[in-house]
């Protein structure tokens, strides 16, 4: 088992549900209740100091019971390691604790996740759409059930009759 994952497991017993290491990338899936504490631990622990936030992302798995996956990737400048923290949320209750108070950059990145995937973040200072218009109501574009060609908006137009020749 990876050292980092082991440290997380030791400090938060039972919080991590899955650890994968593939192509050199370490990913730890944690329970969403523990996400905020683990994030704080990763940043503040003197041996690790994950002080640099790389990206916040999300993946949609429509067939799973816990449909959405929120992905935080952080980097430690001092130890030159990176780790991917993941957590799963069900569609009926898709809300996660915001990590904005730990890494300030999470603000915009979480807003993007909310905009694109519809996952809400508890205690986020300004959770609004960021890339789509504020009044956009046709859903969340990166969900798998959102079709590539839009969601019906074009179909609301009536076709004109063919002009007589």
Residues that bind other proteins (CB under 8 A): 22-23, 25, 27, 51-55, 57, 59-60, 71, 73, 77, 80, 82, 84, 103-105, 107-109, 112, 116, 129-133, 141-142, 146, 148
Smallest separation, CB 45 to other proteins (Å): 16
Smallest separation, CB 23 to other proteins (Å): 5
Between 2 and 105, whose beta carbon lies closer to other proteins?
A: 105
Across 128-140, b (16+ Cβ under 10 Å) vs e yields: eebeeeeeeeeeb
Between 104 and 122, whose beta carbon lies closer to other proteins?
A: 104
Between 32 and 86, whose beta carbon lies closer to other proteins?
A: 86
Structure tokens belonging to residue 36: 């905020």
Between 9 and 51, whose beta carbon lies closer to other proteins?
A: 51
Smallest separation, CB 30 to other proteins (Å): 16
CA-closest candidate to residue 74, choices 113, 43, 111: 43
CA-closest candidate to residue 96, choices 130, 69, 61: 69
Q: Cβ–Cβ contacts within 10 Å for residue 148, how many?
A: 5
Smallest separation, CB 95 to other proteins (Å): 21
- Tell me the C-alpha distance between 34 and 57, whole Å: 18
Between 7 and 82, whose beta carbon lies closer to other proteins?
A: 82
CA-closest candidate to residue 114, choices 130, 125, 100: 130
Smallest separation, CB 123 to other proteins (Å): 17
Q: List, in order, residues 6 or more apart from 59 with CB less than 8 Å away.
A: 68, 69, 71
């Amino acid at each position: 088992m990876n050292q980092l994952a082991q440290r997380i497991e030791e400090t938060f017993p039972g919080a991590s549900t899955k650890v994968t290491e593939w192509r050199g990338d370490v990913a730890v899936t944690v329970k969403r209740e523990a996400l905020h504490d683990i994030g704080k631990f990763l940043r503040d622990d003197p041996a690790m100091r994950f002080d640099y936030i790389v990206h916040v992302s999300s993946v949609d798995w429509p067939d799973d019971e816990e449909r959405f996956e929120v992905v935080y990737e952080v980097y430690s400048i001092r130890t030159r390691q990176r780790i991917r923290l993941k957590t799963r949320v069900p569609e009926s209750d898709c809300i996660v604790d915001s990590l904005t108070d730990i890494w300030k950059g999470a603000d915009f990145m979480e807003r993007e996740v909310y905009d694109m995937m519809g996952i809400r973040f508890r205690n986020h200072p300004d959770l609004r759409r960021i890339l789509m218009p504020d009044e956009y109501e046709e859903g969340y574009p990166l969900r798998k059930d959102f079709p590539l060609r839009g969601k019906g908006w074009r179909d609301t137009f009536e076709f004109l009759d063919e002009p007589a020749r």
